[in-house]
């Protein structure tokens, strides 16, 4: 954690105060936003359990800061937010959650580019269906930090290569759980066969280690392509093999498949579906998770002030050593309305359900949220 925070602040300092002749930028292109949000939420299962469910009304008070810069050869964005949750009926669950993110990109030359990102969160609940699918049940505090640096180079007009390194830190404040750390690196070559077809070859290495526990690793070799069916409709996918060494020192070779179909229907509408099949090195359980999942999304803004979005998720997986099978599905729908340029309203409904061979993992949850945001 300390290492990543140091890298974060070194990079931030370099951006803001580095040599002006090398990476200078025009402060007139700097955009700063401050948002304050008030959201009232009803949750019929605040502790993620099947029996003895607890319901409550929760007030969420948030302050968010965003800084964005876009120049000719470089750009960055910094976002940070703090949310205070106040439970009407169970004040012992009151908590404060924090998020922060940094994205930076720089053109080193006409043929070389570098990008850096860091995403930090301290929260008590999953922030997406994908995260909830692999997260163990119950309500507890956890800290995630995901760092990635990527380098791209154009070797020829049609041939490009890239290399990347990523680090993930997962700290869980729950009795009986171990913290874990992930390091990964990879490389990819892509060839622009035409304006509509871009095949790729890639190799990745990933290793996850648990504090006071074991470690697992995998090598992934894959081939894929992005193909534009039309200017707005494209397919993106890859297929390959995971060669893994598990926590109990057993070796596995299993297929990995990722495929998505995205459609920018028009200026106000977007839809997509993504399928993924792979072995996950779960940050919460010292085991390999053999899983597949499907995510569908659709968003539309029919009027200037009014927009809506809906998403659906289904996932199924099995813990290899523990022989536990899980199923998870959920749906989320949201409606936004801009009352004025600076005042925006939102209404959300979400449902999620987990079925598992392990009884303590089972739960279902309904959540309704009504909120108001003021932007400065």
Q: What are the phi and psi torsion angles at 93 (to 5°)?
A: -95, 0
- Please tell me the distance from the alpha carbon of residue 107 to that of residue 126, in angstroms, as a whole number: 35
Q: Where is average pLDDT lowest: 3-17, 89-103, 173-187, 203-217?
A: 3-17
pLDDT for 244-260, tens place per residue?
999 999 999 999 999 99
* Residues 6 or more apart in contact with residue 92 via CB below 8 angstroms: none
DSSP 250: -
Name the 3-class secondary structure at 16: helix
* Cβ contact 147:167 at 8 Å: yes
* Cβ contact 319:305 at 8 Å: no
Q: Which CATH code for domain 2-375?
A: 2.40.160
pLDDT for 58-70, tens place per residue?
999 999 999 999 9
Name the 3-class secondary structure at 323: coil
* Cβ contact 357:324 at 8 Å: yes
Binned at pLDDT 50, 70 and 90, residue 26 comes out as low
To the nearest 10°, the Cα dihedral for 151, 155, 157, 158? -80
Q: What is the pLDDT at residue 251?
A: 94
Mean pLDDT for the stretch of residues 310-330 = 94
- Please tell me the distance from the alpha carbon of residue 36 to that of residue 31, in angstroms, as a whole number: 17
**Could you tell me the pTM of the whole model?**
0.86
Among 116, 34, 112, 124, residue whose Cα is nearest residue 76? 116
- Please tell me the distance from the alpha carbon of residue 312 to that of residue 300, in angstroms, as a whole number: 15
Q: What are the phi and psi torsion angles at 16 (to 5°)?
A: -80, -35
Residue 5 has pLDDT above 80, yes or no: no
């Amino acid at each position: 954690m300390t290492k990543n925070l140091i890298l974060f602040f070194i990079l931030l300092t370099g951006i803001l105060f580095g040599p002006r002749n090398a990476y200078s930028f025009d402060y007139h292109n700097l955009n700063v936003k401050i948002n304050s949000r008030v959201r009232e939420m009803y949750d019929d299962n605040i502790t993620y359990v099947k029996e003895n469910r607890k319901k409550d009304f929760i007030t969420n008070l948030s302050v968010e800061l965003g800084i964005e810069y876009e120049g000719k050869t470089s750009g960055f964005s910094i976002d940070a937010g703090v949310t205070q949750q106040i439970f009407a009926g169970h004040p012992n669950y009151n908590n404060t959650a924090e998020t922060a993110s940094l994205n930076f990109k720089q053109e080193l030359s006409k043929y070389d580019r570098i990008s850096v990102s860091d995403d930090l969160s301290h929260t008590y609940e999953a922030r997406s269906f994908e995260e909830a699918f692999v997260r163990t049940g119950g309500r507890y505090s956890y800290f995630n930090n995901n760092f990635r640096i990527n380098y791209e180079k154009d070797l020829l007009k049609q041939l490009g290569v890239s290399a990347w390194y990523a680090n993930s830190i997962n700290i869980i404040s729950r009795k009986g759980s171990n913290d874990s750390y992930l390091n990964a690196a990879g490389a990819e070559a892509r060839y622009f066969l035409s304006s509509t077809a871009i095949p790729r070859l890639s190799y990745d290495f990933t290793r996850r280690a648990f504090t006071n526990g074991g470690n697992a690793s995998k090598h992934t070799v894959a081939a894929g392509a992005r193909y534009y069916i039309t200017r707005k409709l494209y397919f993106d996918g890859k297929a390959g093999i995971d060669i893994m060494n598990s926590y109990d020192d057993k070796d596995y070779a299993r297929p990995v498949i990722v495929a998505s179909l995205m459609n920018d229907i028009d200026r106000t509408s977007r839809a997509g579906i993504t399928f993924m099949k792979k072995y996950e090195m779960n940050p919460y359980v010292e085991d390999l998770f053999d899983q597949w999942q499907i995510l569908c999304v659709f968003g539309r803004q029919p009027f200037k002030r009014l927009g809506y979005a809906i998403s659906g998720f289904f996932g199924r997986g099995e813990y290899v050593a523990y022989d536990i099978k899980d199923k998870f599905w959920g749906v989320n729908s949201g409606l936004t309305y801009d009352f004025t340029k600076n005042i925006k309203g939102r209404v959300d409904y979400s449902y999620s359900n987990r079925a598992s061979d392990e009884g303590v993992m089972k739960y279902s949850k309904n959540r309704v949220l009504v909120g108001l945001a003021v932007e400065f």
